[in-house]
Amino acid sequence: MLAAGRGTGVQAPAALEQLCRTYWYPLYAYVRRRGYGPADAEDLTQEFFARLLARDYLARADPHRGRFRSFLLAGVKHLLSDERDKAQRLKRGAGHRPISFDEEAAEGRYRLEPTDALTPERVFERTWVATLLERAALRLREEYADLGKADLFEQLTEFRLDAPGQRPYAEVASQSALSQSAVKSAIRRLRQRHNELVREEIAHTVADPADVDDEIRYLLQVLV
């Protein structure tokens, strides 16, 4: 994703579009936790991405300072501090809306967020982690489908790194054409590939590949 601000030709716009589509929800959740209503949160999230496009913020971001998530969070904080000038806010249903998302789905997802005293920053980080894991899981599902193994993925998906509950291997084997040994091997391969995809997603959000492990350790702490 860091390439979105520094690429040239067709790759840069494509990377920026992917950025917007991938990371809108953590920003939306942050704005909601700051006390804004659903309509305002949607408008402000759209405004943030409009500024990224119009003012070329990404091209001016220092890749050696902080993580990409920190860059985005700092940017949306700056936007909220500018809210004193109400005339600059996008009007709901009008103006340039750089990304599209289902408002009802966004708010429905937000209602599932923890209702405890998490700070807006913590909500942002937790939804950031969830987005990374979802992206990796989606890619994993697509890979299995491309290999003609969509059914196997559905049988084993609960054994992904981020899955909350898991059945005994014997139960999985009894409901499939696999032996317990084969189930164990298939789960090991699925987890290994999921781990690789998570690392790839995180690598898109750091400037130096050497920072991936540090970012993983930090994000794991976020989930505690």
d(CA 36, CA 6): 32
Q: What is the pLDDT of residue 186?
A: 94
Q: What is the pLDDT of residue 58?
A: 61
d(CA 43, CA 96): 10
- Number of helical (H) and strand (E) elements in the chain, helices listed first: 10, 0
- Could you read off the pLDDT of 68-92 as tens digits, one per residue? 888 889 889 988 887 755 545 555 4
CB 6 within 8 A of CB 209: no
Show the low-confidence residues of the chain (pLDDT under 50): 3-4, 7-11, 64, 87, 92-94
Q: What is the pLDDT of residue 114?
A: 64
Q: What is the pLDDT of residue 56?
A: 59
Q: What is the pLDDT of residue 104?
A: 63
Q: What is the pLDDT of residue 115?
A: 60
d(CA 221, CA 224): 5
Q: 17 is written with which tokens?
A: 């579009």
d(CA 78, CA 103): 23
Q: 54 is written with which tokens?
A: 């119009």
Helix axes 120-146, 68-81, angle to 10 degrees: 130
d(CA 150, CA 142): 8
Q: What is the pLDDT of residue 82?
A: 79
Q: What is the pLDDT of residue 96?
A: 55
Q: What is the pLDDT of residue 217?
A: 92
Place of tokens 């940017």: 75
CB 141 within 8 A of CB 152: no
Rg (CA), the chain: 20
The full 3-state SS of 21-90, as one line of letters, equals: HHHHHHHHHHHHHCCCCHHHHHHHHHHHHHHHHHHCHHHHCCCCCCCHHHHHHHHHHHHHHHHHCHHHCC
Q: What is the pLDDT of residue 10?
A: 38
Q: What is the pLDDT of residue 60?
A: 58
Q: What is the pLDDT of residue 87?
A: 47
Q: What is the pTM of this model?
A: 0.76
d(CA 75, CA 96): 19
CB 219 within 8 A of CB 131: no
